[in-house]
Amino acid sequence: MAKQRILVVDDEEDILELVRYHLAREGYDVVASASGEDALKKAKREAFDLVVLDLMLPGLDGLEVAKALKADAKTKSLPLIMLTAKGEDADVVAGLELGADDYITKPFSPRVLIARVKTVLRRRSREPVGESESVSIHDLEIHPGRRTVLAGGQPVELTYTEFQLLHVLARRPGWVFTRGQIVDAVRGGDYPVTDRSVDVQVVGLRKKLGTHGNYIETVRGVGYRFKEKP
């Protein structure tokens, strides 16, 4: 079986080598890039299974690289994990809205990095186990088979995680889900659970849904639920 190929983009040589070393030790074929411009050239010229992308790059930054990758038919479906410094919520949300699959904050644990990479790659290779029925509620139409969402009859472009999160909540309106339950349902029990990872996804999802995002309620101290009544 051919090794899965990962493009790692970071302008800090020590971090680039750290990521390359741990991914290579797990058996991945790793290609390193120190700039956004070089990363785009490599992504369009070669075949990759995943991109690990730093946001703070000189010249063409990570968000611009992500936007370019998602705008190109050849790289549109390429999974993307962002690397970011702590506290940059606005950049994280922007990246997720562009279609990034996940993010990792710096400084990061190599074990967390490997777990996130494996989760994203595993998701790409197969559809998740779970309920597959369509959901129609509050002028929202959610179709798992086609992976489409209509809000008021208008299509809404969601990332994989945003779609799964919406489907999990909407198919059981009124139920309160803890953040841990949401992560288990969306990504699987082996995914490192953090409150912030769920909260950031909810922020991005609400923004994309517009007024329909108000149906996702925060239950203080517990988690989230989808409104049972409009």
Domain at 106, CATH number: 3.40.50.2300
Q: Give the pLDDT of residue 32.
A: 96
Q: Determine contact, residues 43/7, Cβ cutoff 8 Å.
A: yes
Q: pLDDT over 90 for what percent of the chain?
A: 47
Residue 125, pLDDT above cutoff 60:
no
- Please tell me whether residues 153 and 205 are part of one structural domain: yes
Residue 16 lies in a domain: yes
Same domain, 119 and 156: no
- Whether 130 is in a domain gets the answer no
Task: Give the number of other Cβ atoms within 10 Å of residue 96's Cβ.
Answer: 26
| Residue 23 near residue 3 (C-beta atoms within 8 A) | no
Assess contact for 31 and 3: CB atoms under 8 A.
no
CA nearest to 48, candidates 14, 75, 82: 75
119 and 173 housed in the same domain: no
Mark whether 191 and 221 lie in a shared domain.
yes
Same domain, 117 and 154: no
CATH of the domain at 161: 1.10.10.10
pLDDT band (50, 70, 90) for residue 129:
very low
Q: What is the extent of the structural domain holding 52?
A: 5-125
Residues 139 and 186 in one domain: yes
Both 72 and 141 in a single domain? no
Residue 220 resides in a domain = yes
Q: Are residues 91 and 178 in the same domain?
A: no
pLDDT band at 46 (very low <50, low <70, confident <90, very high): confident
pTM comes to 0.60
Total domain count, the chain: 2
Quick one: pLDDT band at residue 131, thresholds 50, 70, 90? low
